[in-house]
Chains A and B, each alone.
Chain A
Amino acid sequence: MAKVYEGLREFLQTLEEEGQLVRVKDEVMPEPDIGAAGRAAANMKGNAPAILFEKIKGYKGKVVTNVHGSWANHALMMGMQKDATTKEQFFELNRRWDKYPVEPEVVAREDAPCKENVVDENINLFEILPLYRINDQDGGFFISKASVVSGEPDDPENLDKMNVGTYRIQVKDVDRIGIQALAMHDIAVQLEQAERKNEKLRVAIALGNDPIITFMASTPIAHDQSEYKFAGALRDGVPVKLVKADKAEHLYVPASAEVILEGYIEPRVRECEGPFGEFPGSYSGARNQCVVKIDHITHRTDPIFENLYLGIPWTEIDYLMALNTSVPLYKQIKEGFPELVALNAMYMHGHVAIISTKCRYGGYGKGIAFRLLSTPHGMPYTKVVIVVDEYVDPFNLEQVMWAIASRVKPDKDVAIIPNCPGMPLDPSSNPAGMHTKMIIDATTPVAPEPNPRSVELLEPPVGTEKWEEILRDLMK
C-alpha cells in the first residue's frame, strides 16, 4: 500500500524529511518576494523544493508554494521514491486509476481539523490568508490553487455530480472574490442551472489540502464522476476523509483542509476580473466574470496558505497538470483502442499531446488522434496531436523527434482541421474558443496503406545492458 497523507501538513513533513522543502525564516515582503521565489524554484528544474515562508510582513500566517513543483515532489505525493521517472509515475497512476470508485469516509464535525476555528462575523480574508500578487500585471491578489466544491442544482444529493475543481480566484474585498468559470468547466454547467432560476450557487472552497485532492481537482474527468472517489483510488484505495460543509448540507469538504471558505456565487452578476498570468505563460486580459460572496470560514489553527506560481512553462502548475491530464485521456482512448501504449499530454494542459500506439490497420494513427480530439478535454484543449509507433516512448522527446524526422511524409501524414473548438486562454485561439487542429501521424504505415520503403530497425548489440552497468560503475 502506498504512503498517503491526511492533509497538507503531513505531506510537508515528508517533503522536509526527503530534502524537498525549504523554510524561509527571514521576513519577506508579500510582493515581489513570494512570486519571485516561485519562479526561482521553477528555474531550478530537477528536484526543486517546496518553499515555506514563515514570516510575511504585515501578516500572521505562513505561505507554502511549489508543493507540486518538481517530479520528485510529484512522486512523493504518490508515495513513490522521489527519483521515480515520469513514465513510471504515469503507469503507477494508471494502475491506481482502475480502483475507482473508492467511497469517501465522512467524519463527524468534531473529528475534522478544518473545523477547529469558525469565522462568520466580520469576515476578513486577509486575517487568515497572507494574500499577495503573484505576477506584476495581475489585476489583484489571486488564489491560484483552490479546490472549489459545488453541487448540481438539479440533482443536489448526487455525490458523483458534486464538482471539485480548480478555478482562479481574485480577491476583490475582504469577503468577496471573483471566480473564473469557463463554459467548458463543470462548475459552469451547475451555474447555468442555478442562474436559469435566479438562484445562488453555494460553494465551499478548500485551501491547503492532501496533495492528491488538489491533483484531482485539476484533473479533467467526466461530469458524473467524483473527484473524491478518484482521490481515494489514487491514494491506492485509501478513502479520503470528508466532512459536511456548515452552510450547505449537500456539500462535502476535505476534513483536513487548512481553510474552508464558504459562500455563494451571486446569480446573474458579472464583474471586471483579471488580468491574470495564466498557464499558457501569458496574461489573460480583463473580462466580466462571476463573483462569490464569502459568508462563513472555518480553518485549522495557524493555517498554512498554499498557493502556486504560474509563469512561462515549466512552473509548478505544469507539474500539477501534467500526468493528471495524460492519464484520463489515456484511459478514455484505451477503452476502445487497446493497442494504445502510452499518452503524454503534459504540454499546456494537453494543447500538445503525443500518443504511442500499435497500428492495427491503415490510417489507425489518424483515427486514434481523432479519438483524442473527441474526448471531453481533448476537444477544446488539444490542438496538436503527434502519433508515434508503440516502441517510441512519448515521454522521451528525443525519440518523438526521431519518429517525426524518420516517419513523417508531410503531404499525407499531416492533417489540418479548421474551425474546431479551442481553449480561450490559448493566445493563438481566434476568436477565443475556436481553433484549428493538427495531426502529425509519425507511425509506420500498415496495410492497406502502402509502405514502399519498409525498414529494419536497429537492435541494441548483445551485451548492451551489461555495458550499461559497467559504465555506471566506472562513473561512480
Chain B
Amino acid sequence: MTCPRCNSEDTRVMVKSPVGDEWEVYVCNTCYYSWRSTETPDIHDVFKLKPEDIPNLQVIPPVPPLDK
C-alpha cells in the first residue's frame, strides 16, 4: 500500500475498528500521514511530501544543546 502523501511503500495497518469490521486506519511509517479505509485521500499538491525532504522540515521547537 502506497502512502497517498509521500508515495512511500512503508505503510501499515495502525488499527481496526473497535466495533465490528467497519474500517481500518492506515499510517505511513515515513511521513506519519494516516487515513481510514472509508476515506478517499485527495492530498493537495501543496501538502505532498518527498521522503527526502522530511529531515529538512522546520524543527519545532529547536532541540537545545546537551548540558555539559
Q: Interface residues, chain A, CB within 8 Å of chain B?
A: 29-31, 57-60, 124, 126-127, 133, 136-137, 139-141, 170-174, 178, 180-183, 188, 191-192, 195-198, 268, 270-273, 275, 283, 285-290, 424, 432
Contacts and interface: CB of A to CB of B under 8 A. Distances in A.
23 contacts: A30-B38, A31-B36, A57-B22, A127-B18, A133-B36, A137-B43, A137-B47, A139-B33, A171-B34, A178-B32, A181-B60, A183-B60, A188-B61, A196-B65, A196-B66, A196-B67, A197-B67, A270-B59, A270-B63, A272-B54, A272-B57, A287-B57, A288-B60
Nearest to B23: A58
Contact of B32 (A29, A127, A137, A271): A271
Interface of B: 5, 14-15, 17-20, 22-23, 25, 27, 30-36, 38-39, 42-44, 46-47, 49, 54-55, 57-67
Given A59-B19, A172-B34, A196-B66, A287 B58 contact: yes
B33 A140 contact: yes
A285 B20 CA distance: 34
Contacts of A275: 47
Given A195-B63, A272-B32, A432 B15 contact: no
A128 to B, nearest CB: 9
Contacts of A271: 32
Contacts, number: 116
Nearest to B38: A29
Output the residue of B5, B14, B38, B44 with the most chain A CB within 10 A. Answer: B14
A-B CB proximity, top 7 nearest = A58-B17, A58-B22, A140-B34, A183-B61, A188-B61, A196-B67, A287-B58
A141 B22 contact: no
Output the residue of B43, B60, B62, B63 with the most chain A CB within 10 A. Answer: B60
Given A170-B32, A173-B14, A182 B38 contact: no
B63 A58 contact: no
A30 B34 CA distance: 14
Contacts of B47: 137, 139, 275, 283, 285-286
B61 A192 contact: yes
Contact of A192 (B33, B57, B64): B64
B63 A182 contact: no
Nearest to A173: B14
A182 B58 CA distance: 12
Nearest to A267: B63
Contacts of B30: 272
Given A58-B20, A268-B63, 14 more contacts: A57-B17, A58-B19, A59-B17, A133-B35, A133-B39, A170-B32, A173-B14, A182-B61, A192-B64, A272-B32, A273-B32, A286-B31, A286-B47, A288-B59
Given A59-B19, A173-B14, A174-B14, A139 B60 contact: no
A195 B36 CA distance: 34
Contacts of A180: 60
A272 B46 CA distance: 16
Given A59-B18, A196-B66, A288-B54, A140 B59 contact: no
Contact of B60 (A29, A31, A136, A289): A289
A126 B33 CA distance: 16
Nearest to A124: B15
A172 B32 contact: yes
Nearest to A431: B58
Contacts of B18: 58-60, 124, 126-127
Given A137-B44, A178-B32, A272-B31, A286 B49 contact: yes
